[in-house]
Structure 1
């Protein structure tokens, strides 16, 4: 829970910030805390807590507790991709103070930008690029390359992956096509969905990019939780 973000977004006063701090500190036990107990612990009234619920756009106290409880963070994507989690955590730990280059072309580019910003907000030195020149001799063993590609077979992308492999750069890939050089060269290839060579057809729904965001957020959440 990012309290500073919530304070700015919902224009919270100091008391409301104090209540949120209390909620964050007791997140694992929230379901056992009544509204009267919360009011007492924060030297305020139940009316003040109801006003906070309204400000945060919850229907009531129970709704707020349900959504802010740490247990609601356990979701299907995290469980489905949990086999990737140990290696994912290992790579982020290894490159906590390294350069992280996030690469995506076409529809993958905005996904790369999003991943880059999320990593930056959590203390990583990340940059979103589209130029292979970024992998010169200055970006080698201390660099992590993150690639987003549905097919994994674009010529320019393959050149990028081969160059990273040659320079011993760790590569984390989100892709759908297991039968690609990108998959073969990746340090950690994460298969998202099923590859459809006709996904460029406007009449065929392409869920790959949305799924990548969900998988990345699930893995990142688990990584951040492991640091607490």
Structure 2
């Protein structure tokens, strides 16, 4: 879920918070130059209230929230609103229409991800993987198969990641991680209780952790040192995991390409 989408969820905020949010949404064209003092003055609220709202949205302060808002506003200028990332085609459409819709889905997905991707974080993640003694990857469901393709590529350049979730022994494996190891968690929804327990174990053991996810509201991700956020466009009700797995594969391919280039 994008920040703009979160801001429109009224039930999640107090009356004071939503008064601040309402001002932001009505003045998006001015957000780039808006200061916290000006926002406080215009909404009759305190700087502390604004900071609390920012932290509720997982930002350390107003500056960080503003940067993300500006980024999303700019990226939205180039994204087609016609694409449905969850249901890209209807059952009454012709095969030709489905072909065009699938093209639009992947074409717009690339534009969306590229417009919001944190390139510095991607480079850091690649460096962490290159320097790790051992790489442990945590993924379940369709994502497990997507990460296996990444593992296969890595093996061909003499990196040997271990899929910790291969035999449902991820909790035991997490306890065996040591200093110098790296744990990469890949979960689009970020709602798996077992994976969250594994993240907590790694955090307690001071293991360097990475998460690739679309769920910005999951508090467990704060325990990961490195976070690669995917735009959250795919809904619970969907035809298949077209967008989510494509997005994850794209991110993993970029990481692999950076590592490969350092060989």
What TM-score range do you get, normalising by the shorter chain? Answer: 0.5 to 0.7
Q: CA RMSD in A?
A: 2.4
Per the alignment, residue 86 of structure 1 pairs with: 123
Give the 5 Å matches for 1:25-36.
none
Find the structure with the greater CA-based Rg: 1
Per the alignment, residue 223 of structure 2 pairs with: 185
How far off is 1:149 after superposition?
A: 0.5
Q: Distance in 1 between matches of 2:149 and 2:220?
A: 21
Q: Distance in 2 between matches of 1:105 and 1:204?
A: 16
TM-score, normalization by structure 1? 0.58
Q: Of 160, 170, 179, which residue of structure 2 is paired with 1:141? A: 179
Per the alignment, residue 153 of structure 1 pairs with: 191
Whether the 8 Å CA contact 2:123–2:258 is kept in 1: the answer is no
Structure 2: stretches of 5+ with no match in the other structure: 1-109
Whether the 8 Å CA contact 1:150–1:195 is kept in 2: the answer is no
Structure 1: stretches of 5+ with no match in the other structure: 1-74
Could you say if the C-alpha distance between residues 218 and 133 of structure 1 is closer, same or farther in structure 2, counting changes exceeding 3 Å?
same
Per the alignment, residue 248 of structure 2 pairs with: 212
How far off is 1:195 after superposition?
A: 5.5
| 3-state SS, counterpart of residue 173 of structure 1 | strand
Per the alignment, residue 116 of structure 1 pairs with: 151
How far off is 1:105 after superposition?
A: 1.2
Per the alignment, residue 174 of structure 1 pairs with: 212
Aligned length in residues: 148
Q: Distance in 2 between matches of 1:161 and 1:78?
A: 27
How far off is 1:146 after superposition?
A: 1.1
How far off is 1:167 after superposition?
A: 0.9
Whether the 8 Å CA contact 1:102–1:129 is kept in 2: the answer is yes
How far off is 1:161 after superposition?
A: 0.7
Q: 1:200 aligned to 2:236?
A: yes
Which one has more relative contact order, counting CA pairs under 8 Å at least 6 apart? 2
| 3-state SS, counterpart of residue 161 of structure 2 | strand
| 3-state SS, counterpart of residue 112 of structure 1 | helix
TM-score, normalization by structure 2? 0.50
Q: Of 105, 129, 140, which residue of structure 1 is paired with 2:140? A: 105
Which structure's residues are more often strand, by fraction?
A: 1
How far off is 1:119 after superposition?
A: 1.9
